[in-house]
Amino acid sequence: MTLDAHITDPSLASVIETSRAAREQAQTLIDLISQATAANANGPIPADALTDISKQQKLLNTSLAHLRGLHRAAHFRARETKSQTAEARHEVDVLHLQLQNLYYEQHHLEGEIAACEGFDHTYQLLPLIPVEEFLAQHPEHADADENALMVARINHERAEREALEQQRQELQKRKQKLIAENKKRRDDLANLDRDLEKFIDAAKPIQKMFEKVV
């Protein structure tokens, strides 16, 4: 496979083509000089041969000038391409670093998720009623997902506990009221006992008078 088969850039292909043409022109110029020198080894080169040599030299100089221009342009493009390649490599490095950071964050989040899934949450220790019993009481949650169903069960448990707490407070109030009433009755009975004792003490002289009369 020739070198040309590996070159696909049009500007570089033009450089190769111009270089090939300049080489052929240089070889033609060398042949013309050699032929003119060999034909006139002991004398001057004929004018027509000098004319051909001059034309070929001018043609070669034109090709060489064109080749220099193409070489300069190719050099500038190569330098620009190198700069663009460096920028692209830097962008790739930045993206690679960002990707590594994302992988690290993903790994960290997966660890956090696993820790959360394995954590013994307080709600798991709540004495909730069985799912079947809850759905029998609240069939509107039959199509709910696991999380929504758990929330509904917790809310149900909270409502039940609040109702029980309200009943407890009402019973506590009734208990306090009954205690207060019982205390008042005990106090009334104690006062009645004291009044009765006073009455008995006051009646003793009268009882003695009746005993003397009898």
Rounded CA separation 112/100 (Å) = 18
Mean pLDDT, residues 120-147: 81
pLDDT tens track for 166-197: 999 999 999 999 999 889 888 888 888 888 88
Closest CA to 69 of 11, 133, 139: 11
Q: What pLDDT is stored for residue 212 in this prediction?
A: 63
Residue pLDDT, tens place only, 79-110 = 888 899 999 999 999 999 999 999 999 999 99
pTM above 0.75, yes or no: no
Nearest CA-CA partner of 126 in 148, 158, 167, 166: 158
